[in-house]
Amino acid sequence: MSEFGKVAVLLGGDSAEREVSLRSGQAVTKALRNAGVDAHPFDPAHNPLAELKEQGFMRAFNVLHGRGGEDGTIQGALHYLGIPYTGSGVLACALAMDKVKTKQVWQASGLPVAHSTVIRRGTEHNYAELLAELGGKVMVKPAQEGSSIGMSSADSAVALEQAVALAHQFDKEALIESWLPGPEYTVAILGQRALPAIRLETSHEFYDYDAKYQANDTKYHCPAGLAEVEEQALRHLAEAAFRCLSGSGWGRIDVMCDKHGNYRLLEANMVPGMTEKSLVPMAARAEGLSFEQLVVEILRHSEG
């Protein structure tokens, strides 16, 4: 497709999600080429970004997951180079990468989130009191990691202290949220429109890294099995959450239910996984879009 010119598929990078990014990038490159796009893989961990201009790339399809690729850094560099790129801009990516800041924006906008607190590395806390305040069981996450890296649950003061220490290995801030029993949903966004919701089902305690990328018994239900009014409410919530962060192009919003069945926003993913088995392509298929059609549509939404 000559309308796009020469396209760089940004993949790999040097974040903790490098291997996932490589798989996404390989799938996207193949699909774009099959659709007639002049696409080439480009790994910023091995090639200086200045080579994008030197090699004549006209546009970038970004599938760099995690830090560096999903936090506004690569977006700012591409904007400076004058190369249009897929997905959200600097502000939206920086906000979405930080789970603490994301929750603050959603709360300020009146959107539903779980009760939570934040512990900074090097500070002292009474973990027993903290656990009691948040309902007796919690989920602990590094503020700025993806793919469930550094996440763990806790239902005792000792376990909570250990979970916070683990999260602090990945970030200076640990987000502690009240436990949400589920079910868990994810909603892909294309443009500003939500695609059909996917319900996640895992035999693990929560949807961790192994459940996402290695387990064979993780199930994905699309349609999600919701009544139409509930499906539409979930899609509208995801669209509102995406807009609040100034999201654009494409992305994914993760949601869980509390013990009363109410939706609670978890996090936003501005550069979700993009293998043919990933969640965004799954939702697109339910909408009648093939993987090739999806990647071309995402490319069409690219901005400078």
Q: Which residue ranges make up the annotated binding site?
A: 254, 267, 269
- State yes or no: is 17 an active-site residue: yes
Catalytic residue among 17, 145, 173, 231: 17
- Residues composing the chain: 304
Token pair of 127 as six digits? 């973990």
Catalytic residue among 147, 152, 178, 248: 147
CA 271 from centre of chain = 6
- State yes or no: is 248 an active-site residue: no
Distances (CA, A) of 109 to 237, 240, 261: 12, 9, 21
Catalytic residue among 21, 152, 248, 278: 278
- State yes or no: is 290 an active-site residue: no
Q: Which residues contact 146 (CB under 8 A, 6 or more apart)?
A: 16, 17, 65, 66, 70, 97, 269
Task: Please enumerate, by residue number, every residue annotated as part of a binding site for Mg(2+).
Answer: 254, 267, 269
Q: Do 208 and 145 meet the contact criterion of CB atoms below 8 Å apart?
A: no
Q: Do 206 and 179 meet the contact criterion of CB atoms below 8 Å apart?
A: no
Handedness of CA 136, 142, 144, 146 (dihedral sign): negative
Q: Which residues contact 44 (CB under 8 A, 6 or more apart)?
A: 10, 12, 13, 14, 64, 68, 69, 74
Report residue 198: phi and psi, to 5°: -115, 130
For residues 184 and 254, give the distance between their C-alpha atoms in angstroms, rounded to a whole number.
Answer: 8
Question: Looking at the annotation, which residues are catalytic?
Answer: 17, 147, 278
